Amino acid sequence: MKPFVLLAAGLVLVFGIPDVSRIRWPVPIVATPDLPTSVVYVYEKDQSAIPVGVTVGLNRINRERGIVASLYEADTTDGTGDVPEQYREALAAATASGLPALVVLSGTTVLSVTPAPEDAEAIVRAVP
């Protein structure tokens, strides 16, 4: 330990104290009530297939808008048998409106639910 302290002290004497003001510290993302942070297409695999337009629309939202857009199958659970936390509100809102549904969220707040969108344009239009 003593050699490390001596080395650190010597480096500070030679080079000075490093300037940490230029370091970009990570800033947590805070959800605002009107801006979407995620989009989830909730479906039941036994009822219908996922339309190609839905995957294209979700891909566009991910790439162009920088919003996390994902698919969630209604019967999927985590290792403890529960619905994963990031999908709980989306699943509840989609189930209430009827599956399949596109749910737009701001944090854990549901902004909108679009029942059964079929094409990419309907997906993109649903996100404000």
Query: Domain residue spans in the chain?
Result: 38-126
- State in words which class domain 38-126 has: alpha beta
pLDDT tens track for 68-120: 999 999 999 998 999 999 999 999 999 999 999 999 999 999 999 999 998 99
pLDDT tens track for 6-19: 887 777 778 777 67
Q: What contacts 86, CB < 8 A, 6 or more positions away?
A: 38
